[in-house]
Chains A and B, each alone.
Chain A
Amino acid sequence: MSPVSRGFIGRRRPTIDPSRLPPGQYVETGFPVLSAGPTPHTPLDQWSFRIDGAVDKSVSWTWEELLALPAETPTVDIHCVTKWSKFDTNWKGVSVDTLLKNVDTSVRWVTAFSDGGYTTNLGLDDVIGGKAWVAYEFDGQPLHPEHGGPARLLVPHLYFWKSAKWVRGLTLTPDDEPGFWENYGYNNHGDPWLEQRYQGD
């Protein structure tokens, strides 16, 4: 139990369902932007999405090919490690299950890689079974570059740094290899309900 902060009342929001808010988070109605460097702007005719690494055969899609795949429209709550959560966000994208459908692999780890050099590591089980998408629309509009457009990974059950912006592919790996923020002290798994923010949590 934390010691009481003298004179702190706080601002409870009675309209918020506490069962939807992970520990240490607050509800944000805007959509904050966080990124470690400048926003990349890759032209769509040079864009592709690739699955490679420990797979029987690498596969890739052009932008048009990705858009031609069956799409889903998940409405999900998202949780950023910097403490904000945003409820009922509306996305359109391709399920990672769809992308992995014809990929044969025996490994259990994935590294998402992005324009600008960003990477993040995930367990394969965290991106299959209807839990992750490559999303290219937000609220019915093309995903804005500041928010990761043209396409970002969407893995809403983990802290949002796992939902790599400007994603260009997934590399399947035999070992769990820490990505960008995971190398800078952030948690390897990042489950907001277990408050796995930093290493050692």
Chain B
Amino acid sequence: MAGAALPGGLEPSKWALANVVELQVETARVKDLVLDPQGWPGHRAGQHIDVRLTAEDGYVAERSYSIASAPEDEHLMLTVERLDDGEVSPYLVDVLQPGDELELRGPIGGYFIWEESLGGPLVLIGGGSGIVPLRAMLRHWATGTRTVPVHMLYSSRAWYEVIYRDELLGFARDHDRVEVEFALTREWPKDYTGHTGRIDRTLLERVAPAGERPLIYICGPNGFVETAANWLVELGHDPGRVRTERFGPTGT
């Protein structure tokens, strides 16, 4: 099968170096890594990438991160949340500096992607840093014909933990076909009028009416994704139109 056309698109490249152009603070625990990779073959919205760190004694750690940038963006961007018990994310968020080099391999994954030929209506459901690949899809949408309606639902613990907040609000303001809603589970500002508490069936029923047969992408911690996906199937959605990406351990 070598050399055969992949429905998923690009074959992952070998390890390559990327120059760290800039780091941007999103929230207290989340940073954007703006990168300039050498020989980058391009990617599709929703794909991820492997990152490899090497210590002076040769010790190596690898992790996967979703790509936050659209294929059309000038730079490749990752958005990384610092996990306090993590090994790689604290380095990427707290130690990495502009001018450093980062080893990358990718892009990877051909199923959790959206592009215009897949159509819609598009429903994007993110929990926490699960918003990252969905942001890439929304940015990609904005570079196209913008005919497919998009409804984004983003669950976060608190307003101050919402990643890309101004950008997402801007998309909703600037595009009639884009709706962005939040669900805040722990803390919310006094003047906040959106959903509070965890997502529920009523909310999903409104965001993703089964009669419209939307194409649904869910990304987040496994419990969040499992709950949302199960409800959507119960509400009558075709499981084949519900694509999921999950992270985080369960059942320790």
Contacts and interface: CB of A to CB of B under 8 A. Distances in A.
B63 interface: yes
Contacts of B249: 28-32
A25 B60 CA distance: 9
B25 interface: no
A56 B8 CA distance: 35
Contact of B109 (A23, A184, A199): A184
A36 B112 contact: yes
B54 A2 contact: yes
A72 B84 CA distance: 39
Interface residues of B, number: 55
Interface stretch (A3-11, A99-107, A126-134, A150-158): A3-11
Contact of B222 (A29, A32, A200): A32
A181 B6 CA distance: 11
Contact of A10 (B53, B232, B240, B243): B53
Contacts of A6: 95, 97, 100
A176 B4 CA distance: 14
B247 interface: yes
A142 interface: no
B28 interface: no
A38 B12 contact: no
Contacts of B111: 36, 180-181, 184
A5 B229 CA distance: 39
A44 interface: no
Contacts of A26: 61-62, 87
A35 interface: yes
A13 to B, nearest CB: 10
Interface string B5-17: 0111111100101
Mostly, the A contact residues are: loop
A10 B108 contact: no
Given A185-B6, A200-B12, A35 B246 contact: yes
A199 B107 CA distance: 12
B194 interface: no
A124 B177 CA distance: 50
A1 B58 contact: yes
Nearest to A187: B12
Contacts of B100: 5-6
B242 interface: yes
Contacts of B110: 183-185
B240 A3 contact: no
Contacts of B62: 24-26, 83
17 contacts: A3-B17, A3-B54, A3-B101, A4-B56, A24-B52, A29-B252, A30-B252, A31-B250, A33-B222, A38-B229, A38-B239, A38-B242, A39-B226, A185-B6, A199-B2, A199-B11, A200-B2
